[in-house]
Amino acid sequence: MRKHYLDNIRWVTVVMVVIYHIFYMYNGEGILGVVGKITSQDVQYQDIIQYAIYPWIMILLFIVSGISSRLYLDRHTDKEFIRSRTTKLLVPCTVGLFAFQFIQGHINVSIAGAIGPEMPLIGRIIATIASGISVLWYIQMLWLFSLALVLIRKIDKDRLWNICRRTGIIVILLLSAAVWGAGQILNTPVIVVYRFGLYFFVFLLGYFVFSHDEVIDVLKKWFPLFAAASVVLCAFFCIAFFGYNYADNPVYKTPLFLGYGYFASMAILGGMARFGDVSNGFTEWMSKRSYGLYIFHYLGISAVALYLAKPGYVPATAAYLLSALAGFAGAYLLNALISRIPFWRWAVLGISRKKEKKDV
């Protein structure tokens, strides 16, 4: 049976990613690469939304990706898994950069002012194409993790996976310390989203631990505990770090950041398994388009920021609202259009000639 709660977690989390990026684009914390503060407020209290969302969204997505990888591999060979992930993940962040995402790259470098008139033409082209990666860093890492997983499976032969079936509440709680440890290693110093230690570890947790129904049952049972802990940790994190760059060192290495991210992920995973394992017309519609929403949403947000908000053509409130409209409606429209064009649906969305029905 299809686990509808995983589909629902995925699309709900992607929606939260879009909301996060709207406020991130106009943040008042001095985070580089965006338009930044456009209000006259001394303190942008709406920025608290970023602090409440950022620590857990990617941890949760990588956990769900690990679970989904296990479910896919239960029904397919390693070769089919690699081929599927290469088409769905690698092609859009390589071929897709030249086919479409260079547009995003142009907007990104324009917002950041990263290209000066003294830069050679070849340098401008390279910078524009490279900046088109933008939100595609997630699928880049997921493709690498998928390749590594195939090698790990050959070594493990399900021995560790079977042991993890017996994971109980005490071990789940103690894993928060391991998540903190993983968050300290293999972090790239400049482009801070590439946190290989943390994201690979939680991806493996998804595959080995949380792909078991028995472990999900534990999360469902203890959902009130994880939900309460998440609310408390969220409050403490927002109070302690509001005004600081939450996306950079040293904040993202702190026990408070990583503890909140982990416990919130456990709460959402257990809560959705307990209450959100449903499917209807709306959830199916959202689920089928969640990947396209992730791929395209930032283009609309950043275009509004560059061409309307940054020059001051619209007031701040309108900029936020127009960014939300462009982020959601623009992404859905682009997804509907590009998914129907033969070459571009493969290059940009990773849809093969035989359209795959499985999600990432």
How confident is the model over 149-168, as pLDDT tens digits?
A: 999 999 999 999 999 999 99
* Average pLDDT for 47-57: 97
Give strand pairing partners of 195. 187
Give the whole-angstrom CA distance, residue 147 versus residue 166: 26
Tell me what pLDDT residue 357 has. 45
Tell me what pLDDT residue 16 has. 98
When mean pLDDT is compared over 95-109, 122-136, 346-360, the highest value belongs to 95-109
Tell me what pLDDT residue 353 has. 65
Mean pLDDT over all residues of the chain? 95
- pLDDT over 70, % of the chain: 98
Q: What are the tokens at 129?
A: 């194409």
230-260 pLDDT, tens digit each: 999 999 999 999 999 999 889 999 999 999 9
CB 108 within 8 A of CB 33: yes
Task: Residue 269: name the closest of 231, 216, 199, 224 by CA.
Answer: 216
Q: Burial, 314: exposed, middle or buried (Cβ in 10 Å; 0-12, 13-18, 19+)?
A: middle
> What DSSP line would sit under 46-70, residue for residue?
GGHHHHHHHHHHHHHHHHHHHHHHH
Listed in sequence order, the residues at least 6 apart from 167 whose beta carbon sits closer than 8 Å to its beta carbon are: 209, 212, 214, 215, 218
pLDDT above 70 (res 273): yes
CA 281, 63, 251: angle at the middle one, nearest 5?
A: 120
Give the whole-angstrom CA distance, residue 292 versus residue 350: 10
Q: How confident is the model at residue 356 (pLDDT cuts 50, 70, 90)?
A: very low
Q: How confident is the model at residue 355 (pLDDT cuts 50, 70, 90)?
A: low
Q: What are the tokens at 174?
A: 């103690």
Tell me what pLDDT residue 360 has. 45
pTM: 0.95
* Average pLDDT for 252-275: 98
Q: How confident is the model at residue 30 (pLDDT cuts 50, 70, 90)?
A: confident
CB 181 within 8 A of CB 205: no
Q: How confident is the model at residue 354 (pLDDT cuts 50, 70, 90)?
A: low
Task: Residue 212: name the closest of 66, 43, 101 by CA.
Answer: 66
Q: How confident is the model at residue 32 (pLDDT cuts 50, 70, 90)?
A: confident
pLDDT above 90 (res 224): yes
* Average pLDDT for 64-69: 98
Q: How confident is the model at residue 33 (pLDDT cuts 50, 70, 90)?
A: confident
CB 119 within 8 A of CB 43: no
Give the whole-angstrom CA distance, residue 120 versus residue 351: 36
Give the whole-angstrom CA distance, residue 166 versus residue 310: 54
Listed in sequence order, the residues at least 6 apart from 258 whose beta carbon sits closer than 8 Å to its beta carbon are: 55, 176, 179, 180, 183, 198, 252
